[in-house]
Homo-oligomer: A and B are copies of this chain.
Amino acid sequence: MPDADMPILFTYEWVPDFPRGYVRDLRIRWLFHEMGQPYRVETVTFAPKRADHLAMQPFGQVPAVRWRGRSWFETGAMLLGLASGHPTLLPEDRRADITEWLFAAANSVEMSTQPWILANASLAAPQIFGPAPASEVIERFAQRMKSKLGAMETVLTNRDWLAGGFTIADILMADVLRITGDKGGLEGYPVLQSYVARATARPAFLKAHADQMAHWHAADATRAAVA
């Protein structure tokens, strides 16, 4: 395959240990491995943000993707755009259901898990995540999260995947829930734990995770060589 046809995935050149395995480029690596689509990685700086980075990704976040003459931002939009036409990851007759679950993951669910995750991160590392909320505030965040997790527990009780077979909706939802579970947020939700375990046992997830970790290890080696 000529280089010009290969997607370029942009991620940070280096991050410290704590976000490794969680940087959102993993979702797009996962997609490409599910598609059997080779990709190559280019890097952007965390700070200061480069102009070419902000031109692709207005918030200066990662990932961004450049492929087929355009660049992409927001993982939900990338999943819909990059998987378009794929017969199993985004079957046209399930597009509406899949789109609903992508927004459910990106908005209803992650908007409820993120405050709880960040509050707990503040408890562990206030120098990075800012002052921790009081325990009764964190408890309120937990309640809001549990109302959404309880709904998802019901949804997934009698199905393996959200929209028929495994689709891009499961990439986003399972990754949002994986991050929550790794922080201890899925205790009491056995169905969601099984769902995350099922999703993250897929070879494409395992390759994506290994790819991301290899990227950070290579970045460490480059830093060590320069130092």
Counting contact residues on chain A (CB < 8 A from B), the size range is: 35 or more
* Distance of A104 Cα from B140 Cα, bound (Å): 26
Give the contacting residue for A60; candidates B77, B106, B131, B151; CB below 8 A: B151
Q: Does A103 contact B (CB under 8 A)?
A: yes
Asked if B59 and A151 make an inter-chain contact with CB atoms under 8 angstroms apart, the answer reads yes
Contact check, B111 vs A110: say whether CB atoms are below 8 A apart.
Answer: yes
User: A165 at interface (Cβ–Cβ under 8 A)?
Assistant: no
B151 touches A107 (CB 8 A): no
Query: In the bound complex, how far is the Cα of B212 from the Cα of A8, in angstroms?
Result: 45
Oligomer copy total: 2
Determine whether the beta carbon of A151 is less than 8 Å from that of B104.
no
Chain B's closest residue to A75 (CB) is B103
| Set of chain B residues within 8 Å of A99, measured between Cβ atoms | 74, 76-77, 80-81
Interfacial residues, chain A to chain B (CB-CB below 8 A): 54, 58-61, 70, 72-77, 80-81, 96, 99-100, 102-104, 106-108, 110-111, 114-115, 130-134, 136-137, 140, 143, 147-148, 151-152, 154-155
Q: With A72-B100, A76-B99, A102-B103 given, can you name 17 additional A-B contacts, CB distance below 8 Å?
A: A58-B152, A58-B155, A73-B100, A74-B99, A74-B108, A75-B103, A76-B106, A77-B102, A81-B96, A106-B106, A106-B107, A107-B107, A110-B111, A115-B115, A131-B134, A132-B137, A133-B134
